[in-house]
Amino acid sequence: MKKLFLFYILIGGVLLQGCKEFLDLPPKNQRAVTTLSDLKSVLAGYLDAFAKSNTQPIVGPYPIVTEDQNMMFEAYSDNFDFKANMGQYVNPQNNNKNEKFYANNLLFNNIETVDAIWNKYYETIGFLNALIDQSDELVIADPNELLRVKGEMLVHRAYYVFKLQQYFAPMDDESMGIPLYLHSGKEVIGVEMKRKKSSEVYTVIIEDLKKSLEYFHSVGAKEGYSRFFNERFIQNLLAQVYWFKAETASKAPDDYQSAIQYAKGAIAGVDERIPSTLAAFQSVQQNLDTQYPAIYMQGRNYGGIAGFFGSPWDYMGFAPANLIVASDLLALFDNNDFRKEAYFVNNTLSSAWPDGAAYGAKYVRVHLFTPEEAYLILAEAYFRNNEEGEALNTLNKFKGFRGATVKNNLTGENLLNEIINERRKEFFTDTDKRWIDLKRYKIGNISRNLRFFDKNFDVKVSANDYHYALPIPLAELQENPDIVPNEGWNPIIF
C-alpha cells in the first residue's frame, strides 16, 4: 500500500500561494497516513475547531467565516448607512480599526481578505483531497467507520467548493466557474488548473453531498466525532446548492424541485427548536440552546467585529457607536417582530447585537445549516415551482416563529419580494448572506461617495455587475497561466 505524505502539516499551505499549488502538488515531507486511525487522527486536528471555541484547525480558516470576511461582506452590502456613519468610523476615539480598513472595505478594495478566502479555502480542499485519496487506498479498515470518515470529508470539501463558486464565479457565464481538481497530485503532475464550466463544479458539489448522504443512510454518524456528517446538515447544504444554482447559467429544470426535497428534509421535526421569542432568539445567538440544530462557531477575538458592529466600549464614549442602519431595511419590520428589538435601538444598531448582552463583546458568531435558511429556501422554491399557495403558507409559518405579521393574498412578484425581504430581515449581519442575495437576485444599486485621506472617492455598484464575482488573487494570476481573471477590478492605491 502506498504511503501518503501530507505536505500540508509540516510545511503546509501557509507558505503556498494559489489554487494550483494547493491542488496539484505531489505529496512530500514527513507525516505518513497509512491506517484509518492515522487518517482519523489527522482529520481530528481539523474537525476539533468545529466542536471547540479555542482550537485552531491544522488547516483552513477559523472560524469558517472569519471576522474580516464577515465585515467585508457587510461592507459590500446595503444594510448600513455607511456615509452617515463615517464620523464614527474615521474618529480619534475608534481604537478598533484605522482609516485604511474602512477605505478598503467601503470602496470594494479589500484585496487582503479576498486573497485569504481563496488561499485558505483551496488549502483546505487540497488537504481534504489528500485524505480522501488515501481513504480509497485503506484496505484494512472497519468499512463502516471508513464510510463515516469519508462522508465527513466529502461534506466539508463540498462546502468549500460551493463557497468559492459563489464568491468568484459570475452568475451568467457558464465558462467561468472556479478551477477545481479533486486529487492529491501523486499520480498526475502538471495538471492545467483552468476554470471549469460552472455546471461541472456544481456536479462535483452535488455528487459529493449525495454520496455522503448515501453513506449516512448506510452507517449513520459517530457521536463525538462527526460534525458535518449529519443527515439534516447534508440536506440543508444540498438545498442551498440547488437554490443558488437555479438562478445561474448552470440552472436545470428540476433545481427548485430538488431544493424543495432537501429543504423539507432539513427542517423535518425542528419546529419546536426554532426560536419564537426574543429570549430564545438571543439564546441561540449565544449558543446557549444545546439542542438547536446547526453548527456553531465563534471567533476568539474580543471586539473582532467591532469595526462595523460597534465598539465594546461604546458606553464609555469610544467609537464606533450608535451606527445608523439603512432606512429601507428598518421599514421592513413591523412592531410585532421581535427581531427589530434584537437588532436595533430606534434607527441604530443595538449594542447588544449579536451578543445578546447590554454591552456586547462583539465576537463573530457563525451558524451553519440553520433550519431558518432551509425554511426560506423552501418558501422560494415553492414559489418558483408555481406552488404559490405553499410558498405563502411556508412564509407565513416562518413569520410566526418571529412574531411578525402574516401576509395575505400575496402573489407573483409581490410574494417573491416578500420572501427576499424576509431573508434580509432574518439574515441581518449573518456571514455573507445579504451579499449573496444581492448577487443572486440581481438587485440593488449601491453608490458610495466617501472621503478618505483627504480625497473624494465615488464608487457605484450596479445589480449583477463585476463586483459580484470577487477578483482572482494577483498571485494566482501570476503563477497559474491557465486561469482567466474576473474582469473589471482595478485596485485602489491610497
Question: What does the pLDDT look like over 328-343, one tens digit per residue?
Answer: 999 999 999 999 999 9
Q: How far apart are CA 326 and CA 99, in angstroms?
A: 22
For residue 472, what are the CA distances in angstroms to 117, 165, 282, 384? Answer: 10, 12, 37, 32
Q: Are 332 and 421 in contact (CB under 8 A)?
A: yes
Give the closest residue to 210 by CA, choosing from 227, 193, 226, 234: 234
* pLDDT tens-place string over residues 143-192: 999 999 999 999 999 999 999 999 999 999 999 999 999 986 665 566 78
Q: Is residue 81 a contact partner of residue 326, using CB atoms and an 8 Å limit?
A: yes
Residue position matching grid coordinates 432537501: 262
**Looking at 426-466, which runs of residues are DSSP E strands?**
446-452, 455-461
Q: Is 60 exposed, middle or buried (0-12, 13-18, 19+ CB in 10 A)?
A: buried
pLDDT surpasses 90 at 460: yes
State what percent of residues in the chain have pLDDT above 90. Answer: 87
CA 412 to chain CA mean position, Å: 29
Strands 446-452 vs 455-461: parallel, antiparallel or unpaired? antiparallel
User: What pTM was computed for the model?
Assistant: 0.95
Predicted confidence band of residue 359 (pLDDT cuts 50, 70, 90)? confident
Surface-to-core class of residue 51, CB atoms within 10 Å of its CB (0-12 exposed, 13-18 middle, 19+ buried): middle
Q: State the virtual CA torsion across 66, 284, 49, 25 in degrees, nearest 10.
A: -50
Q: What is the pLDDT of residue 357?
A: 82
What's the distance, CA 280 to chain centroid? 24
CATH classification for the domain delimited by 4-67+114-272, as one of 1.10.260.40, 1.25.40.390, 3.20.20.10, 3.40.190.80: 1.25.40.390
Residue 352: pLDDT above 50? yes
Lowest mean pLDDT among 3-7, 65-69, 98-102, 417-421: 3-7
In the chain, domain spans: 4-67+114-272
Nearest residue to 191 (alpha-carbon basis) of 23, 4, 29, 6:
23
Q: Cα–Cα–Cα angle for 430, 431, 433, nearest 5°? A: 75
Q: What is the pLDDT of residue 12?
A: 40
Burial of 346 (0-12, 13-18, 19+ CB in 10 A): exposed
